[in-house]
Amino acid sequence: MTSRLFNAVVGATLVLAATLFPAQAFAQAPAAGFQQLLASVRLGDEVWVKGHDGKEVKGKLTDVSPTSLEILSGGRDVAFGVERVKTISTREHDDLKNGARIGFYVGAGLGALGAFSYCFGAAVDNCAGGALGAFALYTGVGVALGVGIDALIPGGKIEIYRAAARPSARLSLAPILSPTKMGVAVSVRF
């Protein structure tokens, strides 16, 4: 009885935990201008500024205006004009509530298994106190571990600014040589 029932309870707990915590993704459109940056980031936050040349500079945001921004990188202030910046990214601010919630449910599931095994594993006259203790202990440890693990995982890097696409012009030159004509064909594409 106990091994089959125990396996069924463990399987049900794992399935329940997997279905209670689906992955969630929330997207926010990057800011269209520097003046909108402060809605996504605060002065002093860590940012990555990537220029149109492909070089990326990491530092702490120290100033933002509609036409420029400054970061402190490597002990020196670095200024960027709006025309130089392609993207700006920062770390996603992570809330520890999801770690606590996941730890609670996993700990509560294991606590239920512990309470079950305490009461039905051996002949116990009064199992309520021990079962409640096991449940509380496992749940508390689960919450603590969930918060601790969540605190150790850094938030993902998210893009908070993307420059508008630059118009590009292409100039093509082609020689025209024939017995009766000589010249150059010019073509400009935008």
For 79-91, give one letter per residue: b (16+ CB within 10 A) or e: ebeeeebbbbbbe
Model pTM? 0.49
Per domain, the residue ranges of the chain are 2-25+95-152, 34-93+156-171
- pLDDT, residue 30, reads 67
Largest Cα–Cα distance in the chain? 114
- pLDDT, residue 4, reads 55
List the pLDDT tens digit at each of the 190 positions of the chain: 455 555 555 555 554 555 455 444 444 566 667 877 777 788 898 999 999 888 999 999 999 988 889 999 999 999 999 888 999 988 876 678 888 999 999 999 988 888 887 777 655 666 777 778 888 889 999 999 988 888 888 777 888 888 877 666 677 777 888 888 888 888 877 6
Number of Cα atoms under 13 Å in the Cβ half of residue 96: 10
Number of Cα atoms under 13 Å in the Cβ half of residue 173: 3
- pLDDT, residue 183, reads 82
Second-level CATH architecture of 34-93+156-171: Roll (2.30)
